[in-house]
Amino acid sequence: LTQHCTTPARESFEAQTTGKMSLSNKLHLDKVDVKGKRVIMRVDFNVPMKNNVITNNQRIKAAVPSIQHCLDNCAKAVVLMSHLGRPDGVPMPDKYSLEPVAAELKNLLGKDVQFLKDCVGPDVEKACANPPAGSVILLENLRFHVAEEGKGKDASGNKTKASQAEIDAFRASLSKLGDVYVNDAFGTAHRAHSSMVGVNLPQKAAGFLMKKELDYFAMALEKPQRPFLAILGGAKVKDKIQLINNMLDKVNEMIIGGGMAFTFLKVLKNMEIGTSLFDEEGSTIVKDLM
């Protein structure tokens, strides 16, 4: 079987020299030459499961175009890393293993997917050092290591924190697994976790799913149709402060929904919210936002 590989076109001069960086003007996967290289890709395989059976594979399907592009362009290997659930830095393979995802991805790609039972360390580094050409490798849950998020809980439920040395070692091991870093995990792009910000490789790019989301945001935030209405949900006001502040001067109206609404209603209207979610820390900022 002869595999025909293509070399991507370079970014336009305008894209390289534009003073104002647009959300949609990032280096994308289709502008990167992956031929013969190991692509380590952060994906979002945080899929719902019941009894180790995936009940919705949409997030896995969404990653296929980026993976397939690398294979079609003769990447040496695609090494995939993701989190699943909240194991808080404690290995819980019976509950939070990504192994079922490997089987699902095999069906979607129509080719074998090698699953590794860890995401860092000598054995993982050896497996990813010189894999057969065209390999797809899925690492075990990143959050089995406290160094991914920087904090977690021990087996007894006590809060733990990773030392800087642990974080540095974790990131260094991840960085050995690829030659090019691709971020296609838009759902965790707001997290300053090791797999998102700590992979130290000279070339980094956005995957196709990330590109699509950034394009939508660029359309909405940079050249919106008017009137511009934003609807924001979520649980914690504190987590959305930066987003709300950044959008207030861009939108005509903003609707607060989801769990956040209870905090706003209690603070602004003194409404009784019973046992509904109340963000104590975020409540101190609500009046400033108004």
**Over residues 126-141, mean pLDDT:** 98
What is the per-residue pLDDT across 186-198, written as a single tens digit (0 to 9) for each? 988 888 999 999 9
- State the pLDDT at residue 16: 38
* Neighbouring-strand partners of residue 161: 151
Q: Please list the alpha-helical segments (H only) found in 153-236.
A: 164-175, 194-197, 208-222
Average pLDDT, the chain: 88
Lowest-confidence region among 11-20, 137-146, 182-191:
11-20
For the segment 209-235, the average pLDDT, to the nearest whole number, is 86
Q: What is the pLDDT of residues 83-129, one digit of tens each?
A: 999 999 999 999 999 999 999 999 999 999 999 999 999 999 999 99
User: b vs e for 194-203, b when ≥16 Cβ sit within 10 Å of the residue's Cβ?
Assistant: bbbebbebee
Q: How far apart are the first and last CA of the chain?
A: 63
Measured between alpha carbons, how far is 58 from 45 in angstroms, rounded to an integer? 9
Superfamily of domain 13-213: Phosphoglycerate kinase, N-terminal domain (3.40.50.1260)
Q: How far, in Å, are 183, 219, 227 from residue 213 at the CA level? A: 12, 10, 21
What is the DSSP code (8-state) at residue 73? T
DSSP tally for the chain: helices H, then strands E: 13, 12
pTM of the model: 0.80
Distance (Å, rounded) from C-alpha 35 to C-alpha 74? 5
Does residue 2 surpass a pLDDT of 60?
Answer: no
pLDDT band at 18 (very low <50, low <70, confident <90, very high): very low
Quick one: tokens of 112? 């074998």
Distance CA 107, CA 246 (A): 42
Least Cα distance to 151 among 166, 163, 161, 164 occurs for: 161
Distances from the Cα of 199 to the Cα of 111, 178, 233, angstroms: 27, 9, 31
Q: Where are the domains of the chain?
A: 13-213, 224-289
Alpha-carbon distance 174 to 195, whole Å?
Answer: 8
Q: Take residue 181 and report the two structure tokens written for it.
A: 């870093």
